[in-house]
Amino acid sequence: MLAVHLVSFFFTKLQEDPTKKVDRFLHAMRLHDDQLNDISARFQAEMKKGLSAESNAAAAVKMLPTHVRSTPDGSEKGQFMALDFGGSKFKVLQVKVREGMGIRKGGVEMDEKTYRIPKELLTGRGTELFDHVTESLKDFLHERNISLEKKHPLAFTFSFPCEQTALNRGLLLSWSKNFRARGLQGKDVVQVLRDSIDRTGGMDMEVLAMVNDTVATMMTCGFDDQYCQAGLIIGTGTNACYMEELRHVDLVEGDEGRMCVNTEWGAFGDDGALDDFITEFDRDVDAASNNPGKQIFEKMISGMYLGELVRLVVLKMAKVGKLFDGRVSDALRTKGKITTAHVAAMEEYKNGLKNTRTILEELDLSPSDDDCIAVQHISTIVSFRSSNLVAAGLAAILTRIKHNRNRRALRITVGVDGTVYKTHPQYPKRLHKVVRRLLPDCHVRFALSDSGSSKGAALVTAVAQRLASRKRQVDETLSSFKLSQEQLQLVKARMRAGLEAGLKSKGPSAIKMLPSFVYHTPDGTENGKYLALDLGGTNFRAMLVNFKKSLQQNVRLYHKIYTIPLEIMQGTGEELFDHLAQCIGDFLDYMGMKNARLPAGFTFSFPCEQTAIDTGTLVSWTKGFKATNCEGHDVVSMLREAIKRRNEFELDIAAVVNDTVGTMMSCAYEDPQCEIGLIAGTGTNVCYMEEVKNIEICCGEQGAAEMLKMCVNTEWGGLGDDGSLDDIITPYDTEVDQNSVNPGKQRFEKLTSGMYLGEIVRQVLLDLTRGGLLFRGHVTETLKTPGIFQTKYLSQIESDRLALLQVRSILQQLGLNSNCDDSIIVKEVCGAVSRRAAQLCGAGMAAVVDKIRENRGLDHLNITVGVDGALYKLHPHFSGVLQKTTKALAPRCDVTFLPSEEGSGKGAALITAVARKKKEI
């Protein structure tokens, strides 16, 4: 008896659960998370393949650049005609976008009409298909009394894979879904549209942008949600796009900013990458499709195929007697008899089963309740697999964005559209759930594009218009920084004239040409220990230099750097020199040489009139220094007095030199051909070995006459103080000069040196922001703060590696919220300002080397320039542009630029050594 009960229990058990039967039958379609993660990883690999120039051609997933470089930022405006072509409905629209009010607040008005596309046109001649499109457009203009004369900007949503080389140019790679019109593959569909508009005639359209429906959907949702950086279509077809870092898009020039990439993920698997997930039903759907072997991923997911998949599964299960007791109807054998809409209906919460019975009865089947449950479950499994596969693809994209942005967690919104997503009752929830399960550390929001993608297309066109006009305005603003060859030649000539004038006149000349009383470069015989003191632009350095005769060319140096607080820089002269004396004391202590009474060389990087090697009267402070009671005083005496006041140690200050002279000497120790010293740092200046006979101001000076050459500290920073640069000085430069501690002075320096470049950039950024071209027009307190944009930022921002992310983090640190475009502009501004600075220094250097060449009556000159300064040494492009400009403007001079290793200290010690030797004689 018990046995009978057990058998009947199991039989009813087996009988009873049709879903289990289906689960077994379709186990290959039921994907669990490991499989989804595997598919996600495979898709990531495919994305890389598609993005890289090497492997793109062979890649199945084409990763097509769209030339859409940014998502909406609320400043789009204008009226546009739009065509939405390629989805289940072909629409003609007029879209009005008003300033910054966003869609929710009704900032965009739409007027649309859907036009049927006769079936025969889908497979007819392509030109006829497009003529139908443009005739519909014309009909719409008529019907809506929209002027036919006025030129209308047109946005074209074309939902097929296109290789775009610009926003308004795209070659059709292949048709998909149910389109197969002839003669268009490989053609620029924007041109085809323009030709059709001309053929249809009677309207004036400017096709400004063609976008894929995924891109248009992302833009539509991006208008309201700045986190929307991806677009997803699950409709007749399926596809996704997202904002990729431009540096990863090999097929497009440039590495700044981002660009939206249309993945065309429908083709994932066309190269066999998904073969182990393809079921017999997928193969049947593909074989019966009008593009076998193509769009494999799409055929497992999108609305054009889901119904067919369900029909084939139901047909197979019926054939093997697992449904309808093995009875099959002709309707069930007929392709397309079960649509995706049927699938959605079968899965409705309440009426799902009822709908299933109705649908099956319409297929001339008489299903049992269990049959209905089973068929409903088949629909569930098929559509569940669809949403799971979309989730896996999306997980791959979002993971890539997270990595691109170096984020541990990502907050992002995905704009979605498409009939399957919109009409299938359970699809969105399932998709969201699986995506969040696959990406636990991402905060993913799905925004439904509630009115189609044409708003997005119009926004792309508006963005295109805005970007184009902004680029025009930024280029205009920066054009004043772009110096032509002629202008640089002029600067060279003016520098030359300034050098000549400075040598002649005792009086005030813009370029002071100060004698240094250094007559020759080192000869290697220098020996002994010297203290080198170096007051430059940003800090004070004390250095012990030990020349060892025994060790040829071997010099030992020990040094310590001390900062100069602003209040000391701009306090009293006494405080400044006391501070220096204190630092020297600390250094000698540190070196245990307090009682050594060392001979010292003092590098004093400011214009000093010298009458001998160990005296120098400060002409005027520069570079932010403004200590009182110094100008007009001998800086050596002031230091000696400070040391005396300190009464801790004694020094024999034997020489005071300019940092350019110290740098020249340091480098000449390595390269005897070095006869010029250049500083491109906080300040800028150059010295060079001039013929004594040309230095009128010191002819007859004791000791000068019998010498041939003397090093002259040009103080070229003063070029333009006489107005000779007014034709290239921009209002931004004037602003910087006005706000400086020495207005009207050092004009050339204020165009070229580290102390000022950051300020010039800030002034330009301020102006662009006030013009609404930057930071959304928000002029923050930070941006108004002088000195906030340090020149070191230029070097970081302009470095070729990682530039943009760095730009944004630098701007972030400055409290400036920026988007990609802002960062691109900031980088452009930095580039324009630093490039001009380097070119101007190059023009100045060309004047100096050509003068030396002519001094020596040479047809060609080989010479070396010893260089120092943070701008020359640390800025990624400055030195290269300077060298190139010098070469271009002084072609008869071969100039080697030798960066100084240990600064000018060694040079000062060398000069001290020479000075001491002479004293002993």
In the complex with ligand 0WK, which residue's Cβ is closer, 295 or 818?
295
Contact segment (CB under 6 A) with ligand 0WK among 86-94, 99-107, 128-136, 690-698 equals 86-94
Total of chain residues touching ligand BGC, rule CB under 6 A: 36
DSSP run (H or E) holding 782: helix 781-784
Encoded amino acid at 218, one letter: M
Q: Which residues pair with 862 in a beta bridge?
A: 894
Q: Is 156 in the site for ligand BGC (CB under 6 A)?
A: no
Burial of 287 (0-12, 13-18, 19+ CB in 10 A): exposed
Q: Is 905 in the site for ligand BGC (CB under 6 A)?
A: no
Contact 776, 478 (CB under 8 A): no
Beta-carbon neighbour count of residue 393 at 10 Å? 30
How far is CA 44 from its chain centroid?
23
379 binds, among ligand BGC, ligand 0WK, none (CB under 5 to 8 A by kind): none
DSSP run (H or E) holding 662: helix 659-670
**CA geometry: angle 536, 541, 546, nearest 5 deg:** 120
Binding-site member from 76, 264, 270, 417 for ligand 0WK (CB under 6 A): 417
Contact segment (CB under 6 A) with ligand BGC among 230-238, 311-319, 440-448, 782-790 equals 230-238
Q: Is 239 in the site for ligand BGC (CB under 6 A)?
A: yes
Count CA atoms closer than 13 A to 840's CA, side-chain side: 27
Here's the x/- map for ligand BGC, 248-277, by CB under 6 A: it reads as: ----------------x-x-----------
Compute the distance between CA of residue 782 and CA of residue 772 in angstroms, rounded to an integer.
17
Compute the distance between CA of residue 626 and CA of residue 637 in angstroms, rounded to an integer.
18
Contacts of 147 (CB under 8 A, 6+ apart): 141
Q: Which residues pair with 112 in a beta bridge?
A: 93
717 binds, among ligand BGC, ligand 0WK, none (CB under 5 to 8 A by kind): ligand BGC
Here's the x/- map for ligand 0WK, 249-288, by CB under 6 A: it reads as: ----------------------------------------
Compute the distance between CA of residue 450 and CA of residue 567 in angstroms, rounded to an integer.
62
543 binds, among ligand BGC, ligand 0WK, none (CB under 5 to 8 A by kind): none
605 given a catalytic annotation: yes
Phi, psi of 524 (to 5 degrees): 85, -5
870 binds, among ligand BGC, ligand 0WK, none (CB under 5 to 8 A by kind): ligand 0WK
Total of chain residues touching ligand 0WK, rule CB under 6 A: 37
Residue that has been written with the tokens 């002519």 in this structure: 854
413 binds, among ligand 0WK, ligand BGC, none (CB under 5 to 8 A by kind): none
Binding-site member from 231, 257, 307, 418 for ligand 0WK (CB under 6 A): 418
Q: What torsion do the CA atoms of 348, 350, 351, 357 make, to the nearest 10 degrees?
A: 90
Q: Is 537 in the site for ligand BGC (CB under 6 A)?
A: yes
Encoded amino acid at 540, one letter: F
Q: Of the residues 385, 494, 541, 835, which is catalytic?
A: 541
904 binds, among ligand BGC, ligand 0WK, none (CB under 5 to 8 A by kind): ligand 0WK
Burial of 253 (0-12, 13-18, 19+ CB in 10 A): exposed
Q: Of the residues 383, 605, 818, 823, which is catalytic?
A: 605
In the complex with ligand 0WK, which residue's Cβ is closer, 121 or 304?
304
Binding-site member from 310, 833, 903, 910 for ligand 0WK (CB under 6 A): 903
Q: Is 210 in the site for ligand 0WK (CB under 6 A)?
A: no
385 given a catalytic annotation: no
In the complex with ligand 0WK, which residue's Cβ is closer, 70 or 236?
236
Q: Which long-range contacts (CB under 8 A, 24 or more apart) does 323-327 make?
A: 323/367, 323/371, 323/374, 323/375, 324/360, 324/365, 324/366, 324/367, 324/368, 324/371, 327/365, 327/366
Compute the distance between CA of residue 167 and CA of residue 494 in angstroms, rounded to an integer.
46
In the complex with ligand 0WK, which residue's Cβ is closer, 317 or 915?
915
Q: Which of residues 615-634 bind ligand BGC (CB under 6 A)?
A: 622-623
DSSP 20-74: HHHHHHTGGG---HHHHHHHHHHHHHHHHHHHSHHHHTT-SS--EE--------S
CB of 686 to ligand 0WK, least distance (A): 12
Q: Is 239 in the site for ligand 0WK (CB under 6 A)?
A: no
Compute the distance between CA of residue 364 and CA of residue 330 in angstroms, rounded to an integer.
8
Q: Is 681 in the site for ligand 0WK (CB under 6 A)?
A: yes
Contact segment (CB under 6 A) with ligand BGC among 544-552, 604-612, 631-639, 761-769 equals 604-612
Residue that has been written with the tokens 């492997």 in this structure: 55
257 binds, among ligand 0WK, ligand BGC, none (CB under 5 to 8 A by kind): none
Contact 447, 454 (CB under 8 A): no
SS3 state of residue 535:
strand
380 binds, among ligand 0WK, ligand BGC, none (CB under 5 to 8 A by kind): none
Phi, psi of 64 (to 5 degrees): -80, 125
Q: Is 538 in the site for ligand 0WK (CB under 6 A)?
A: yes
In the complex with ligand BGC, which residue's Cβ is closer, 270 or 371?
270
DSSP-derived pairing of the beta strands 539-547 and 528-535: antiparallel
Q: Is 160 in the site for ligand BGC (CB under 6 A)?
A: yes
CB of 158 to ligand 0WK, least distance (A): 9
In the complex with ligand 0WK, which residue's Cβ is closer, 836 or 875?
875
Phi, psi of 80 (to 5 degrees): -140, 145
Q: Is 879 in the site for ligand 0WK (CB under 6 A)?
A: no
180 binds, among ligand BGC, ligand 0WK, none (CB under 5 to 8 A by kind): none
How far is CA 501 from its chain centroid?
46
SS3 state of residue 107:
coil
What is the chain's length?
921
In the complex with ligand 0WK, which residue's Cβ is closer, 256 or 749?
749
Q: What is the DSSP letter of 294?
A: S
606 binds, among ligand 0WK, ligand BGC, none (CB under 5 to 8 A by kind): ligand BGC
Q: Which residues pair with 557 in a beta bridge?
A: 545
Q: Of the residues 84, 659, 733, 737, which is catalytic?
A: 659
Contact 317, 377 (CB under 8 A): no
DSSP-derived pairing of the beta strands 151-158 and 78-85: parallel
Binding-site member from 71, 176, 617, 886 for ligand BGC (CB under 6 A): 176
Encoded amino acid at 650, one letter: E
Count CA atoms closer than 13 A to 662's CA, side-chain side: 29
Here's the x/- map for ligand 0WK, 839-878, by CB under 6 A: it reads as: -----------------------------xxx--------
480 given a catalytic annotation: no
Binding-site member from 137, 233, 630, 661 for ligand 0WK (CB under 6 A): 233
SS3 state of residue 805:
helix
In the complex with ligand 0WK, which residue's Cβ is closer, 214 or 864?
214
Which residues here bind ligand 0WK, judged by CB under 6 A? 84, 86-89, 157, 159, 213, 216, 233, 235-236, 303, 417-419, 452-453, 534, 536-538, 603, 605, 659, 662, 679, 681-683, 754, 868-870, 903-905
Active site residues: 541, 605, 659
List interacting residues with ligand BGC (CB under 6 A).
86-87, 159-161, 176-177, 212-214, 233, 235, 237-239, 264, 266, 298, 536-537, 605-607, 622-623, 658-660, 679, 681, 683-685, 715, 717, 749
